[in-house]
Chain A
């Protein structure tokens, strides 16, 4: 018990003194997650809205595919991208492996289906009267769709927040594509795994506390946007 209390105390000291190494890892994690989710949002939101609004052949197939991709194991994404980015792979010459860019690409691929699916659900679940109201007020089809997106904006933001929650807590992609390189690609999750295995439990605990705080913030944001929806 003393060990846990002592480690917790040291972890709190590390956080309160803004330990440089700790801060660097947090910044790397936030940078990769935010960039990854931004790219995923640019792909996922339009896709979710389009699939939600349009009726076309193959729509059900796309929805099934999005559902399947949501359950995609992170290590599988890491494995496939590792194969593509490794020296022998088709994109090996780009030198992306073990760089923050590789993590960002991995996180984008991982979170885009999640954001697309949540956006799709929000569009499908939107009040059917929104489009009719816009049309009866003289909106063109495009203006009516833009109004619909405006009306469901909090739901779409909630989808992005969910995506960020997944990205920040992800370990498989960050480990396989980033390589856990100190000062470059070490994220909170990979650092926790490494430092704990090295016996630096207090350091791991400090990162764990930060990760929990980020998760708490994400959930508070999610609740806020869900109440607004």
Chain B
């Protein structure tokens, strides 16, 4: 398997009493990683470092398959879905279009991609709905759809099921499990200690800002 992103000796000091430390982490393409850890352990910080939103104070981040790409081009291969995602004012379609427009995807293709992804997240017919009128579960799914239309190589999910009703959790988890065969690497931070087993893949554990354990984890 190819290494998509490689972190070496990463240190990210955010305050005098918190710093993120990752000695060595290679994320393989087309794999699910679940990231667990207590509140404040650094899960969201690690996701932001992986999303290239935070520049580490020390260490190197490499993309072995793309040694020559610029920061913006690399960033466009990664998408982060935050725990409480911000939906842009306007319709669901406006939200899904933004990233596509930024990438200059032709209009007719945008339509096609949006319809396809909305179907994937069970929101067919929601394209013209105002984002502000959606329930929190629907908003979370729109945020996920907004990331999926971009076909990222690395999808970072920060507690994707934390704000949604329990009946929608299997839908999201099923969707996540379908992503690696499409070539998408997923890193999913979670509080739900059973979610890593349900999602399968590899378990990453954060403890006081340190990535200290890496286990193989098969789905039960």
Q: How many residues of B contact A (CB 8 A)?
A: 22
Please determine whether B79 and A136 come into contact, CB atoms closer than 8 angstroms.
yes
* Contacting residues, chain B, for A132 (C-beta < 8 A): 53, 82, 86
A136 vs B86: C-alpha distance in the bound complex, in angstroms? Answer: 11
Please determine whether A136 and B103 come into contact, CB atoms closer than 8 angstroms.
no
Is B59 an interface residue when CB atoms closer than 8 A count as contact? Answer: no
Is A5 an interface residue when CB atoms closer than 8 A count as contact? Answer: no
Please determine whether A129 and B82 come into contact, CB atoms closer than 8 angstroms.
yes
A151 vs B98: C-alpha distance in the bound complex, in angstroms? Answer: 12
* Contacting residues, chain A, for B84 (C-beta < 8 A): 129
Partner of B102, one of A127, A130, A143: A143
Partner of A136, one of B51, B72, B88: B51
* Contacting residues, chain B, for A61 (C-beta < 8 A): none
Residue ID in chain B nearest A144 by CB atoms: B102
Please determine whether A151 and B53 come into contact, CB atoms closer than 8 angstroms.
no
CB of A54, distance to nearest CB on chain B (Å): 19
Please determine whether B82 and A138 come into contact, CB atoms closer than 8 angstroms.
no
Please determine whether A138 and B99 come into contact, CB atoms closer than 8 angstroms.
yes
Is B146 an interface residue when CB atoms closer than 8 A count as contact? Answer: yes
Please determine whether B76 and A138 come into contact, CB atoms closer than 8 angstroms.
yes
Is A94 an interface residue when CB atoms closer than 8 A count as contact? Answer: no
Is B191 an interface residue when CB atoms closer than 8 A count as contact? Answer: no
Residue ID in chain B nearest A134 by CB atoms: B98
A151-B88 contact given A135-B53, A137-B99, CB 8 Å threshold? yes
Is A226 an interface residue when CB atoms closer than 8 A count as contact? Answer: no
A136-B102 contact given A127-B86, A129-B86, A151-B89, CB 8 Å threshold? no
* Contacting residues, chain B, for A223 (C-beta < 8 A): none
Please determine whether B80 and A136 come into contact, CB atoms closer than 8 angstroms.
yes
* Contacting residues, chain B, for A210 (C-beta < 8 A): none
Residue ID in chain B nearest A129 by CB atoms: B86
* Contacting residues, chain A, for B78 (C-beta < 8 A): 136
* Contacting residues, chain A, for B206 (C-beta < 8 A): none
Is A147 an interface residue when CB atoms closer than 8 A count as contact? Answer: yes
Nearest first, the 6 A-B pairs at minimum CB distance are: A129-B86, A137-B99, A138-B76, A136-B80, A133-B86, A138-B102
In the assembled complex, 18 residue pairs joining A and B whose CB atoms fall closer than 8 Å, in A order, are A127-B86, A129-B82, A129-B84, A129-B85, A130-B86, A132-B82, A133-B82, A135-B53, A135-B75, A136-B53, A136-B79, A136-B80, A137-B146, A138-B76, A138-B99, A138-B102, A139-B99, A151-B88
